[in-house]
Chain A
Amino acid sequence: GQQVMQIPQYQHVQEGEDFTTYCNSSTTLSNIQWYKQRPGGHPVFLIQLVKSGEVKKQKRLTFQFGEAKKNSSLHITATQTTDVGTYFCFQGAQKLVFGQGTRLTINP
């Protein structure tokens, strides 16, 4: 079935380092969303990307949607301890599927 593959599964960084997670699909996506789940919490919506090549920024977070609309990335600049959590991509237009998530841990 349709899936979104997300890498890496885990990422551990020093506070202040950058972090990137990638989401890839074998099929063209109508849109893609990103969610953050804090430890012990529930997923919380971050952003939705719709257009080919779209780039959106939220403070230190940069989201990109590939030109072919088959991949997306989330980049965090200068991580802070508040960024800890698991980041999921989600494709809602076809099969309502979440990626496996990238768990970010930070050494303060």
Chain B
Amino acid sequence: DTGVSQDPRHKITKRGQNVTFRCDPISEHNRLYWYRQTLGQGPEFLTYFQNEAQLEKSRLLSDRFSAERPKGSFSTLEIQRTEQGDSAMYLCASSLSGGLTGELFFGEGSRLTVL
């Protein structure tokens, strides 16, 4: 499978715990994006990388959220001291950079439930 893969697919945690999600983009894609989606809403932008550089972060990304893409390949999104409001689907996407944002290829998502 050469698509975007995310792990884990589901995570249930207790409030206050830390969680980490991993995303493996399509291998030749140099841009990687993280979005958060709650039921009935559109994906909300969190952050994106071009290669290993984190180019933009949303205000939604509080100090409890951090994302890395250390070698410009896979990325991790960590949420510290989880809150119930963090329960959502966390979507990763990748694309080829260019003058305009190209087609985003999404993974299946990582669903977080905070009890």
Q: Identify the A interface with B (CB < 8 A).
A: 6, 30-31, 33, 35, 42-45, 48, 50, 88, 90, 92-93, 95-101, 103
Contact = CB atoms under 8 A, between A and B. Distances in A.
B100 A42 contact: no
Nearest to A99: B42
Interface stretch (B10-18, B69-77, B103-111): B103-111
Given A42-B106, A90-B104, A100 B33 contact: no
B100 A31 contact: yes
B104 A101 contact: no
Nearest to B44: A98
A42 B109 CA distance: 7
Contacts of B102: 48
Nearest to A46: B103
B45 interface: yes
Given A88-B43, A96-B48, A99-B42, A50 B100 contact: yes
Max chain B CB contacts within 10 Å: which of A42, A43, A88? A42
B41 interface: yes
Contact of A45 (B41, B45, B103): B103
Max chain A CB contacts within 10 Å: which of B41, B100, B101, B102? B101
A42 B108 contact: yes
A45 B104 contact: yes
